[in-house]
């Protein structure tokens, strides 16, 4: 799911946390549904306002648990050298967008299983606190949403959070790519075959199979009139799951076509870079006005890549200050590592790269972080077209 229209909430260690506008629809529907559910569970003990307040708190806590799930993926990915550009909450949950794909089945498994483990911890924590407050029997009744269960509002909320996160866990572990279960299946297939492309196609096929199953069950519920709400939901989930699985399968096919080609094979090996010690005035006169490019890589005295200077940032410096202010004070620091790629990295690792798509190019660096070139989206596309043409002959 590509989050094109979203509201940024905050940044956590350089990761942008945002919500797609579809999230507000789900938030409203969850609050509306839970208000009635809590009124039934609390029975005569709940005031008119209490079920509504509990519903709002529960909805926010649920989306907080989805965020923690995605942060679980993000933390493990970052520890394995994979940058995370953003986390977005949307209509069907959340997604942590990785700057590049995993490079081994072990890393793929670790990243994939991290989110479900966080969800397991949330379920166990809610259940432990709830049982401690109300006892096992009453907490079980509250989880089943039994009418007049005789529990407090807090216990009812903990029971709902435990049950909904348990459902999320079960759903995410379905071996349908790109769900977590599908990524785990991909890691296992990758480990057994030693072929990432073949493993991705296998997992994507599973994803498409489950998408057809979800849509069939949804249409069955709609035609039978048993539960049209669940039916519509299953059809939507199946459709989006199928589209995503097909997209990953196509990307895997592209990756297979350019296997063996590295970034160094197609990059511009004679990059123009701005020293971070240069003045903004010099950057504008000698680089932007001369080459007419929208951005330039910035390097230190040892030619190590530091980040990017975009034209808008240089133009934003007041003209009287441009001679005294240095590029190092205004450029975009590559703190997350998303603006660069290793020159020996396989070209396929750039497929679906968000920063490449957003900027049109990335800095190519060696093992010590020194700038060795610039690779553009046009160069990747041209290499892909050449590979497709040569394979079709």
CATH code of the domain covering residue 331: 3.10.580.10
30 and 159 housed in the same domain: yes
d(CA 45, CA 384): 66
> Which one, of 276, 292, 260, lies nearest residue 371 by Cα?
276
Residues whose CB falls within 8 Å of the CB of residue 265, separated by 6 or more in sequence, listed in order: 347, 383
pLDDT by residue (tens digit) across 243-300? 888 877 776 776 667 777 889 999 999 999 999 999 999 999 999 999 999 999 999 9
Give the model's pLDDT for residue 300: 95
Choose one of 257, 288, 307: the last residue of a domain: 257
- Mean pLDDT of the region 102-118: 92
Query: Of the given ranges (22-36, 41-55, 343-357), which has the lowest mean pLDDT?
Result: 41-55
Give the model's pLDDT for residue 3: 41
Domain membership of residue 179 (yes or no) is no
Q: Is residue 4's pLDDT more than 50? A: no
Query: Of the given ranges (56-70, 121-135, 235-249, 328-342), which has the lowest mean pLDDT?
Result: 235-249
299 and 364 housed in the same domain: yes
Give the model's pLDDT for residue 91: 67
Q: How far is CA 171 from CA 147, 233, 390, in A?
A: 26, 13, 42
Instruction: Give the strand order in the sheet containing 340-342.
Output: 340-342, 361-365, 371-376
Phi, psi (rounded to 5 degrees) for 297: -70, 145
248 and 272 housed in the same domain: no
- Mean pLDDT of the region 182-208: 89
- Mean pLDDT of the region 42-48: 58
> Which one, of 259, 243, 242, 270, lies nearest residue 351 by Cα?
259
91 and 14 housed in the same domain: yes
Give the model's pLDDT for residue 322: 95
316 and 220 housed in the same domain: no
Structure letter (DSSP) for residue 43:
G
pLDDT by residue (tens digit) across 67-83? 999 999 999 998 988 87
29 and 165 housed in the same domain: yes
More confident residue, 157 or 122: 122
Long-range contacts at 189-195 (CB < 8 A, ≥ 24 apart): 190/105, 190/108, 191/105, 191/106, 191/109
d(CA 74, CA 83): 8
Structure letter (DSSP) for residue 296:
E
Domain membership of residue 271 (yes or no) is yes
What is the pLDDT of the chain when averaged over all its residues? 85
Alpha helices in 146-227 (DSSP H): 153-172, 180-193, 196-224
Domain membership of residue 181 (yes or no) is no
Give the model's pLDDT for residue 25: 80
55 and 201 housed in the same domain: no
Q: Other C-beta atoms within 10 Å of 212: how many? A: 12
d(CA 276, CA 21): 39
Domain membership of residue 330 (yes or no) is yes
166 and 273 housed in the same domain: no
d(CA 131, CA 162): 11
Domain membership of residue 189 (yes or no) is no
Choose one of 236, 257, 278: the last residue of a domain: 257
Phi, psi (rounded to 5 degrees) for 346: -65, 145
Q: Would you place residue 393 in the very low, low, confident or very high pLDDT band (cuts 50, 70, 90)? A: low
Contact between residue 324 and residue 279 where contact means Cβ atoms under 8 Å apart: yes
- Mean pLDDT of the region 366-385: 91
d(CA 12, CA 263): 30
Q: Residue 89 belongs to what domain range?
A: 6-173
- Whose tokens are 């097909």? That residue is 246
Give the model's pLDDT for residue 146: 53
297 and 206 housed in the same domain: no
Q: Other C-beta atoms within 10 Å of 386: how many? A: 14
- Mean pLDDT of the region 303-312: 95
260 burial via Cβ count (<10 Å: 0-12, 13-18, 19+):
exposed
Can you give the length of the chain in residues? 393
Domain membership of residue 178 (yes or no) is no
Two tokens at 7? 């509201």
223 and 270 housed in the same domain: no
Domain membership of residue 152 (yes or no) is yes
Q: Would you place residue 346 in the very low, low, confident or very high pLDDT band (cuts 50, 70, 90)? A: confident
Choose one of 233, 257, 281: the last residue of a domain: 257
Query: What's the total number of domains in the chain?
Result: 3
CA 182, chain centre distance (Å)? 15
Residues whose CB falls within 8 Å of the CB of residue 391, separated by 6 or more in sequence, listed in order: 257
d(CA 187, CA 58): 34
238 and 312 housed in the same domain: no
Domain membership of residue 372 (yes or no) is yes
For a pLDDT cut of 70, what percent of the chain falls above it? Answer: 90
236 and 274 housed in the same domain: no
């Amino acid at each position: 799911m590509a989050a094109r229209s979203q509201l940024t909430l905050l940044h956590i260690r350089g990761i942008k946390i945002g919500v797609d506008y579809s999230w507000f629809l789900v938030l409203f529907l969850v609050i509306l549904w839970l208000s009635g559910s809590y009124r039934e569970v609390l029975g005569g003990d709940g005031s008119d306002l209490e079920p509504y307040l509990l519903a709002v708190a529960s909805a926010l806590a649920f989306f907080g648990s989805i965020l923690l799930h995605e942060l679980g993926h993000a933390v493990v990915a970052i520890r394995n050298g994979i940058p995370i550009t953003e986390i977005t909450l949307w209509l069907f949950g959340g997604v942590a967008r990785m700057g590049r794909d995993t490079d081994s089945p072990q890393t793929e498994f670790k990243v994939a299983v991290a989110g479900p483990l966080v969800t397991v911890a949330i379920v166990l924590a809610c259940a432990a606190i709830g049982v401690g407050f109300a006892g096992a029997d009453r907490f079980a009744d509250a989880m089943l949403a039994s009418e007049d269960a005789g529990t407090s509002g807090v216990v009812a909320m903990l029971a709902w959070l435990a049950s909904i996160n348990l459902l999320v866990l079960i759903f995410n572990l379905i071996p349908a790519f790109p769900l977590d279960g599908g990524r785990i299946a991909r890691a296992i297939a990758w480990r057994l075959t030693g072929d990432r492309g073949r493993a991705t196609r296998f997992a994507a096929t599973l994803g498409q199979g489950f998408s057809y199953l979800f849509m069939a069950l949804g249409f069955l519920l709609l035609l039978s009139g048993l539960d049209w709400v669940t039916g519509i939901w299953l059809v939507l989930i199946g459709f989006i799951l199928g589209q995503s699985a097909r997209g990953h399968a196509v990307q895997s096919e592209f990756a297979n076509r350019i296997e063996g080609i590295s970034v160094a094979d197609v990059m511009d090996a004679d990059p123009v870079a701005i020293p971070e010690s240069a003045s903004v005035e010099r950057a504008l006169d000698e680089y932007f006005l001369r080459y007419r490019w929208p951005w330039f890589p910035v390097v230190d005295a040892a030619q190590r890549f530091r980040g990017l200077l975009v034209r808008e940032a240089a133009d934003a410096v007041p003209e009287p200050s441009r001679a005294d202010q240095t590029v190092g004070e205004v450029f975009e620091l590559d703190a997350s590592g998303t603006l660069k790629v290793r020159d020996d990295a396989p070209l396929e690792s750039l497929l679906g790269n968000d920063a490449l798509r957003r900027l049109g190019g990335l800095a190519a660096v060696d093992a010590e972080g020194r700038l060795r070139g610039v690779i553009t989206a046009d160069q990747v596309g041209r290499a892909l077209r050449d590979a497709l043409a040569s394979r079709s002959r």
